[in-house]
Amino acid sequence: MANARRRPAFRPLRARIRHRPRLTWSQALILVAAVSLTAVAGAALLVLRTDPGQFPDLGTALWWAVATVTTVGYGDVVPVSTPGRLVGAALMFVGIGSFAFLTAVAASAIVVGEVGDEERRIERAEADIRVAVEAVLVRLTEVENRLRMLTVPTEAGAEDAAASSRGPLSR
């Protein structure tokens, strides 16, 4: 148990998720666009060097890179060298990953919205419960004080209590 206090890895998952910054749709789109454009430009330049016979100019290389990253892959131009095919394979994974990332961001936005609504409902219910508990505690304190007043004998009450405990014949 001592390790649980020292290691931040044991913090509740909910606390970690709350403090993690979330991507907005626009941030996700910008990130995917930046990664895709960088991958397209880089792949076009690399395939231009690895397969100059298949890709005689930058326009053809860019066309191939865009068709590959979008997973359309027309097949009108393809790399034939091993390094060119490796570039193509890497570009395919970037395209697939980009679409998967956008899908994950969309799903996360839906789930986070629903979870946020549920958390707000739970927090309101907890606040109502706290108010009710406080009211019950106040009322219990009042009852306890009244009971104390009833059980603490006064001077005159102590004599009466002693007399009644002896019974009617002992008077």
pTM (global) more than 0.75: no
Express each pLDDT in 31-50 by its tens digit.
889 999 999 999 999 999 99
3-state helix, strand, coil in the chain (%, to 5): 80, 0, 20
Express each pLDDT in 139-159 by its tens digit.
999 999 999 988 866 655 555
Per-domain residue ranges of the chain = 23-141
For the 23-141 domain, the top CATH level (class) is mainly alpha
State how far the Cα of 37 lies from the Cα of 35, in Å rounded to an integer.
6
Torsion, CA 137, CA 142, CA 143, CA 147, rounded to 10? 140
